[in-house]
Amino acid sequence: MDQNNSLPPYAQGLASPQGAMTPGIPIFSPMMPYGTGLTPQPIQNTNSLSILEEQQRQQQQQQQQQQQQQQQQQQQQQQQQQQQSTSQQATQGPSGQTPQLFHSQTLTTAPLPGTTPLYPSPMTPMTPITPATPASESSGIVPQLQNIVSTVNLGCKLDLKTIALRARNAEYNPKRFAAVIMRIREPRTTALIFSSGKMVCTGAKSEEQSRLAARKYARVVQKLGFPAKFLDFKIQNMVGSCDVKFPIRLEGLVLTHQQFSSYEPELFPGLIYRMIKPRIVLLIFVSGKVVLTGAKVRAEIYEAFENIYPILKGFRKTT
């Protein structure tokens, strides 16, 4: 399902059709186009410490329902499209809809072309797996990307000594490390160039900058006379950071989320939270600063932060 394309930009990091073992608070807005899958879902009560149990229950239920419902939906979508193409109603009338249990993970109807109802249809009941509370607002904080690591294959063997002697801003110490370390100023990045032709580019602040920087390094190598290509550019890791602006009780967090957290203040002052979905590692500090790493795409960073924010709010230090 590629419903995410129709999402407004602020919600694009949030849609996660697969369900989560971690709490998810999607944005609820009356302007949300109907049928995108982000219409009000059963909202987990974020302040409850039994979140984990609720999530696990939900997940099991959802998985069972998902399989049944996906088949139903496809049939229903076809029916509804035929019915509603004749009636040009702005709001979804009851005639066109087959009431069904609203499932938090999957669509109930396909979006109608051209009709964007102001409010989600009252005919689609929310199935409260947990008591439906008004959706929490989004945190309003967007993690900033700090570092992107990417790799690319230049597709030809390289003579590192030639590169080190002729290129500017290059270091080559084969006794210590078998690669040329080259840097450029714009975008400010560092590249490790290996004799196999493979290259690692680090230090960029955005995906596009990382790609641009990798291309600049490839051009440097090409100008030195090697038949460099630009094969298999892939972003391997993205690091983001943000500040929740309140202190956090790490000790409490590790007690309740012990299967995800590890906190050894004598070793490292930050709590290491290994989120399962998305697979992101977060370093959470007492000051309220959070570092997120391990992402392959930007959306994973945003999603992970939206997942962790309500948990952190629950462990806000009050003194």
Q: Which parts of this chain interact with another protein (CB under 8 A)? A: 161, 164-165, 167-173
Distance from C-alpha of 167 to C-alpha of 180, rounded to nearest angstrom:
10
Distance CA 226, CA 158 (A): 7
The three-class DSSP label of residue 233 is strand
Q: Cβ of residue 165: shortest distance to another protein, in angstroms?
A: 5
Question: Would you state the structure tokens that stand for residue 80, as one six-digit string?
Answer: 């509804």
Q: How far apart are CA 123 and CA 117, in angstroms?
A: 13
Number of residues assigned to the chain:
319
CB 287 within 8 A of CB 271: no
In whole angstroms, the minimum distance from the beta carbon of 182 to another protein comes to 10
Q: Which is nearer to another protein, 167 or 224 (CB)?
A: 167
Nearer to another protein, 52 or 160 (CB): 160
Where are the strands (E) in the chain, listed by range? 144-153, 170-172, 179-184, 189-194, 198-204, 231-243, 261-262, 271-275, 280-284, 289-295
**For residue 278, cis peptide bond before it (omega within 30 degrees of 0):** yes
CB 243 within 8 A of CB 141: yes
* Cβ 174 to another protein shortest distance, Å: 10
Least separation in angstroms between residue 172's CB and another protein is 5
Report the residue number, 19 or 187, with the smaller CB distance to another protein.
187
- Identify which of residues 224 and 286 has a Cβ nearer to another protein in the complex: 224
CB of 147 to another protein, least distance (A): 22
Least Å distance, CB 180 to another protein, is 9
Q: Give the contacts of 50 (CB within 8 A, at least 6 positions apart).
A: none
Nearer to another protein, 178 or 276 (CB): 178
Q: Which CB, 194 or 285, lies closer to another protein?
A: 194
Cβ nearer to another protein, comparing 162 with 237: 162
Tokens 């399962």, residue? 276
Q: Residue 171 CB, nearest distance to another protein (Å)?
A: 4
Q: Please give the structure tokens belonging to residue 75.
A: 């049939």
End-to-end CA distance of the chain: 46
β-bridge pairing 189-194 and 271-275? unpaired
